[in-house]
Amino acid sequence: MTDIIEFDRFTDEVRKAVSDRYPESCVELRRVTKNNGVIYTGLTVRNEDERIYPTMYLEGFYEESDEGRISDELIDRICGIYESRRVPDAALPGVLGDYDSIRGNLRCRLINRAANEEYLKDVVSRDFLDLAIVPYYLFDEGALSFDRGADASFVIRRSNLDVWGVCEDKVLDDSISNTLGRDDICISGIYDVLRRLNPAFAVPDEETAGACPMYVMTNGTSGGAISMIDCGRLDEFCDSIGSDIYVIPSSISEVILVPRDDTAGEEMFDSMISEINETQLDAVDVLSDHVYCFSRGKGYIERDSY
């Protein structure tokens, strides 16, 4: 567990060291609320003429450091991240004023509604079961210089709607259409996924694997669980395996699909999900603590089974 006093000392020393590197800039520490109310400490370096600037979260640097020690190498890394993730004005056509210029870059993700109640007061959103669909703007890959392993984006707030002169439903409809229309959603057998992650993974024999077939559904992004709102794709998948399914929210990045039969019920899956959320996931990655159901006859996903 992070020692709060030592961590505060560490972040303040980092701020001072980075300020020395950028004496003409405003270097600040910010408490940033992320998914599920998780609060990170962010370092920002802001110049007077910059409208959007990156935030470097310091928790990871503290954990990697030697007992919170500040070194030139550490400050070099932080400054390098800042330099590589600065957003040039050329990447901001109309972001602050022209909706037609930005609508094609809108995407959306799913978060837990109850766990983000305060956050959602200021953010554009739409209810989906007990979750919330939240739109965001994703910068073009070619407009940025850094590795797209960490997407540059900003969430759409209600204040943006006034600037753009559009309604909330318009932004949500466009973000959903863009997200589901890119054909990035993929459903793969879970053992295929594990094998791609670790080529040395030993795939079980067909009889063992077939005892409880599981599939991973995602669009390959950090918010890939949004794929579960694509009921058309779920319906096609159910037809392909000849079964209704359970939809297990394994994280905000993906969901797991399991054919529905009499060998396992919702209570068992709910217990499994809660245990994984508590022991295997960082709090910021948790989507939900219970299973969902999708049936071919209904064509939509729901919280409870029939």
Under the phi-then-psi rule, with left for phi > 0, alpha for psi from -120 to 50, and beta for the rest, what region is 65? beta
Instruction: Check whether residue 67 and residue 96 sit in a common domain.
Output: no
Confidence band of 208 (pLDDT split at 50, 70, 90): low
Q: Are 84 and 23 in contact (CB under 8 A)?
A: no
- pLDDT for res 92: 58
Instruction: Check whether residue 45 and residue 117 sit in a common domain.
Output: no
Instruction: Check whether residue 69 and residue 150 sit in a common domain.
Output: no
Boundary residue ending a domain (23, 57, 86)? 86
Rounded to an integer, the average pLDDT of 83-107 is 76
User: Could you report the per-residue pLDDT of 183-201, keeping only the tens digit for each?
Assistant: 789 998 876 656 555 555 5
Rounded to an integer, the average pLDDT of 178-184 is 86
Q: Chain-wide mean pLDDT for the chain?
A: 86
CB under 8 Å to 254, separation ≥6 — which residues? 216, 217, 218, 224, 225, 227
Instruction: Check whether residue 127 and residue 197 sit in a common domain.
Output: no
Whole-number Å distance between alpha carbons of 160 and 154: 11
Instruction: Check whether residue 124 and residue 81 sit in a common domain.
Output: no
What's the token pair of residue 275? 């245990």
pLDDT at position 234 over 60 = yes
| 126 against 64, higher pLDDT | 126
Q: Which domain holds residue 149?
A: 90-181
Q: Burial letters for 182-205: b for 16+ Cβ neighbours within 10 Å, e otherwise?
A: eeebbbeebbebeeeeeeeeeeee
Boundary residue ending a domain (153, 181, 209)? 181
pLDDT at position 62 over 70 = yes
Confidence band of 151 (pLDDT split at 50, 70, 90): low
Instruction: Check whether residue 72 and residue 122 sit in a common domain.
Output: no
| 205 against 72, higher pLDDT | 72
Instruction: Check whether residue 175 and residue 144 sit in a common domain.
Output: yes
Instruction: Check whether residue 176 and residue 225 sit in a common domain.
Output: no
pLDDT at position 147 over 50 = no
pLDDT at position 148 over 70 = no
Boundary residue ending a domain (124, 149, 181)? 181
- pLDDT for res 298: 86
Instruction: Check whether residue 220 and residue 296 sit in a common domain.
Output: yes
Instruction: Check whether residue 47 and residue 150 sit in a common domain.
Output: no
Instruction: Give the chain's domain count.
Output: 3
Instruction: Check whether residue 10 and residue 35 sit in a common domain.
Output: yes
pTM of the model: 0.85
Instruction: Check whether residue 20 and residue 79 sit in a common domain.
Output: yes
Q: Are 226 and 287 in contact (CB under 8 A)?
A: no
Rounded to an integer, the average pLDDT of 197-210 is 54
